[in-house]
Structure 1
Amino acid sequence: MIDTVFIGMSGLSSYSKGLKAISNNVTNLNTPGFKTSQLQFTDLFYQGSQNGTGAGRFGNGVGTNGTNLNFMAGDFRSTGNELDVAVNGQGFFVLRDEQSNLRYTKAGQFEFNGNGVLVNRNGSEKVMAYDAGNLREITLQGMQSNPPKATSEIVLKGNLSPEGTQHSINNVAVFDSAGKQHNLTVAFTDKKLDATTGEVSWTVTVKENATTLTTGDYKFKNSLAVGGSDALSFSFNPAGAAASTVTMKLGPNVQAFNLGTTSSLEVDSKDGYGVGTLAKQAFDDEGHLVLNYSNGQSDKRYQLAMARFSNLDSLEQMGSNQFQAKDANAVSYTVASKGQDAIRSRAVEISNVDLSQEFSDLILNQRGYQASSQIVSTANEMIQELFEMKGRR
């Protein structure tokens, strides 16, 4: 009879632990990256006769074998935060704490700290990038600005009508080697026809304000640019900047058709830019940290590290939405790709808690607890009855 009380007590203890696991799951319903756990129940050892299949054998109640984690993916929730990311796959983000311990998380909520290092928003662990087989921290050091590039090429497009006598392209913006912008004027004048070759030549003069930078000729034949006479190079050496060479050429979309006295020749494209300041940081779908600058340039120097596990049972929860690996040999490192572990930016993976399943388990645990309590009460009544019978003798 006393054994029955202890058996009932084992049920009370085990179902209490089950309730604890369920309550932990439910309360973390909105925790990013949270993975549910389920308590594993096991029957306790048996004692009694060994004759037959379980004949005369009695168990000693129920026990628990700890919890199993469910790594099924949760839903993705948009946050609008440029540094929030989620993994659409089995990979985990890699963090490194102050003791150089590696931690793994599905909760990609990151930010740059005061030193310009990308860290976990909850806990300040450093977020790891993966490069050439090595894990390294992500830092903005030396990347707050983008250096200038001097203009080296200007490509023209449009029509230069042979009926016209002159044409000007104004405010052609170029950059010197120091990143300063200059506005040039390109003038087409002094048109000449070579009756022998049939070539039409134009004198081209490039000026900055009143200063002539270069003069040369462009030639056309049969309304198309003549190869070898379709480009003009000049040295650009403004005060305070190192000299650079600029080549202005006629693009494939330049013609010289007779369309009256009006020409449409203009700048099609040009390179070069000034100094840029960091304007925006975001992640792309392969985990690259994309830095955008005010001069229109971008940088993709870092790519988020992805940890993959051959056995997810080697992971154990550490709190703060993080896991650690019990077996270091079970983890490998790589990067995300569009086909595997694609990154969703401006979003987080929320918990994979299924409320309907949790409430169903809650009812089962409640019934189990009530039944175990009833066993203890019944055994207690029977023991009390024995005491009363003994007392009446």
Structure 2
Amino acid sequence: MLRSMYAGISGMKGFQTKLDVVGNNIANVNTSGYKKARVSFQDMMSQTLSGAEGPTNTRGGVNPQQVGLGSQLGSIDNIHTQGNRQTTNRILDLALEGDGMFVLGKDLSYNAGNRASSGVDMQDTPLSFTRAGNFYLDDEGYVVNPDGLYLLGNVNPDGSKVDDYLGKIQIPQDAASFSIQGDGLVTYVNGSGNVQSAGQILLAKFSNPGGLQKTGSNLYQITNNAGVFTDDGNFDTIDDLVIPEENGSATIVSGALEMSNVDLAEEFTEMITAQRGFQANTRIITTSDEILQELVNLKR
């Protein structure tokens, strides 16, 4: 059979995947904190008809002659560029301006010293990371995301002051008001009118955020290729997280949300090119089929 037919099939498969990715980007155009994906292709192995030859005393060199066998999926990249900021004027809507992600977990209250002695690797801890900053208060005053995961930060067990303790951030139910500053410091006014600290939101910063794995619900999990910023590569202590506005980390903007970084104009353009590419590859198959039909009709 003709090589062009199988090359066309490989092209169709690739553009199908590209359309899947583009469709998912468009579906999440209004998803808070969503990071768009991009597809890249690679050529497949080429069949060598003749190899290269170097020049001699009587003639020049000859280049190799190869026939490509189609294309294949190269990568699906998550593009972690900054999304547009949408003002909501809601205190618990938090947008990140810069690098970093919110740290979420279940009912976790880790003492930094105990964790360091146990040598816990970040990949063994039930932590999730997100750029979506739409948070809420549960019935006990803890700051949670829409799925009920706690927003983790630097707090003291009794919530009286910021201390070296990673845990859940809680706003007392009798608090008259509360606020969140750009450096993540959460303060509230108690019943006596005094300002107290509920803790400080910390961020996780990665050298390769594209290496994070999406798990749904705007959440990411760490992988071996994410490149977490730690001294020894392990998530052992609270020191492995970063304070907002320090060391190049993001600033927290209260009363706003970071929206998706999807550009509809770009996505529709990519959709058109994927559609035309798919059509062109189907034409290759039909043309190859016509040639085969002519060969079959040679003997009548």
Band the TM-score falls in, shorter-chain normalisation:
0.7 to 0.9
- Aligned counterpart, 1:336: 244
Change in Cα spacing, 1:383 to 1:288, as seen in structure 2 (3 Å) is same
Matched, 1:66 2:75: yes
Report the Cα distance in structure 1 between the residues aligned to 2:76 and 2:165, rounded to whole angstroms: 33
Partner Cα distance (1:25, 1:134) in 2: 38
Change in Cα spacing, 1:317 to 1:81, as seen in structure 2 (3 Å) is same
The corresponding residue for 1:384 is: 293
Aligned to 2:272: 363
In the other structure, the counterpart of 1:109 is 134
8 A Cα contact 1:83 1:281, kept in partner: no
CA contact (8 A) 1:305 1:336 kept: yes
Counterpart-to-counterpart distance in 1, 2:48 and 2:130:
49
Per-residue CA distance 1:148-190 (angstroms, 9 max, x = gap): xxxxxxxxxxxxxxxxxxxxxxxxxxxxxxxxxxxxxxxxxxx
Structure 2 CA distance for partners of 1:280 and 1:60, relative to 1, 3 Å: same
Q: Which position in structure 1 is the counterpart of 2:121?
A: none
| Cα gap change, 1:373 to 1:133, in 2 (>3 Å) | farther
SS at match of 2:273: helix
> Structure 2: where are the runs of 5+ without partners?
53-61, 109-124, 156-162, 230-239
| Contact kept? 1:314, 1:330, Cα under 8 Å | no
3-state SS, counterpart of residue 175 of structure 2: strand
Aligned mate of 2:255, from 318, 334, 346: 346
Q: Deviations over 1:293-326 (max 9, x none)?
A: 3543222231111111122232122211111110
Return 289-298 or 78-87, whichever deviates more: 289-298
More displaced stretch, 18-27 vs 323-332: 323-332
Ranges in structure 1 where 5+ consecutive residues have no aligned partner = 145-276
After superposition, the Cα gap between the structure-2 partners of 1:285 and 1:68, relative to the gap in structure 1 and judged at 3 Å, is same
Q: Which amino acid aligns with 1:135?
A: L
Distance 2:107 2:66 in 1: 55
- Partners of 2:90 and 2:256 within 8 A in 1: yes
Partner of 1:56: 65
Distance, in Å, in 2 between the alignment partners of 1:38 and 1:58 is 28
**Which one of 162, 167, 184 corresponds to residue 136 of structure 1?**
167
Q: Is residue 97–residue 103 contact of structure 1 (8 Å, CA) maintained in 2?
A: no
TM-score scaled by length of structure 1: 0.61
Structure with max Cα Rg? 1
Aligned counterparts of 2:187 and 2:279: Cα–Cα separation in 1? 57
- 1:38 alignment partner in structure 2: 38
CA gap of 1:329–1:14, structure 2 versus 1, over 3 A, is: closer
Partner of 1:293: 190
Which consecutive aligned stretches of 4+ in structure 1 deviate over 6 angstroms post-superposition?
none
- Contact persistence 2:242–2:249 (CA under 8 A): no
Question: Which has the larger displacement, 332-341 or 344-353?
Answer: 332-341
Contact 1:130–1:335 (CA under 8 A) maintained in structure 2? no
Question: Deviation digits for residues 325-356 of structure 1, max 9, x if unmatched?
Answer: 10375244111138742111011100001122
In 2: Cα distance, 1:294 partner to 1:284 partner: 21
Deviations 1:85-109 (A, max 9, x none): 0111101100114795111111011
1:320–1:12 distance in 2 versus 1, CA, 3 Å: same
In the TM superposition, residue 50 of structure 1 has moved relative to its aligned partner by 4.2
% identity of equivalent residues: 30
Structure holding more helix per residue: 2
Amino acid at match of 1:30: N
Cα pair 1:291 1:300 within 8 Å, conserved: yes
**C-alpha displacement of 1:67:** 0.6
51-60 vs 40-49, which moves further: 51-60
Q: In structure 1, what is the equivalent of residue 102 of structure 2?
A: 93
Letter in 2 for 1:359: F
RMSD: 2.1
Quote the offset at 1:31 in angstroms. Answer: 0.4
Q: In structure 1, what is the equivalent of residue 112 of structure 2?
A: none
- Offset of residue 379 of structure 1: 0.7
Give secondary structure in 1 for the equivalent of 2:287: helix
Q: Corresponding residue for 2:55?
A: none
Q: Does the CA-based 8 Å contact 2:43-2:72 persist in structure 1?
A: yes
- Which residue matches 1:312? 209
Distance 1:134 1:329 in 2: 24
Give the match's secondary structure for 1:366.
helix
Residue matched to 2:158: none
Q: Structure 2: how far apart are the matches of 1:5 and 1:54?
A: 26
| 1-structure distance, mates of 2:16, 2:288 | 20
Q: With structure 2 as the length reference, what TM-score do the two structures score?
A: 0.79
C-alpha distance in structure 2 between counterparts of 1:23 and 1:60, whole Å: 28
